[in-house]
Structure 1
Amino acid sequence: MLDPLTGVRFFLALGVVLFHYQLQWTLPGDGALLNRARLAADVFFILSGFVLTHV
């Protein structure tokens, strides 16, 4: 049951990393997608809490 959640956690962690890197980049446009990646941190911690509680 938890194997698919591991893949989701990977992409959420990648979103957090990209959000932190975009602070250094100058992107064309407003970069709205990467600005929303900060929400991945909240979802990542909620999902990790679920996994730890389940185990």
Structure 2
Amino acid sequence: MRVLARLVRLRGARSGREYADVPPNAAFRTIDGSGHHQPARYRELVTSFLRGRVGP
């Protein structure tokens, strides 16, 4: 299946999960520590993505 919509995948740096299946057109960002401990950084990345400033 091909995803045509813009996509951002965020992950905490300490997360044990790997994302080998990130689509080639997706933006992948790591948040130092974990996202729920850094809500301002999470919000910044999501807002930047929605405004078109975070790309693959």
Bin of the TM-score, shorter chain as denominator length: 0.3 to 0.5
More strand by share: 2
Bigger relative CO (Cα 8 Å, ≥ 6 apart): 1
TM-score scaled by structure 1? 0.36
TM-score scaled by structure 2? 0.35
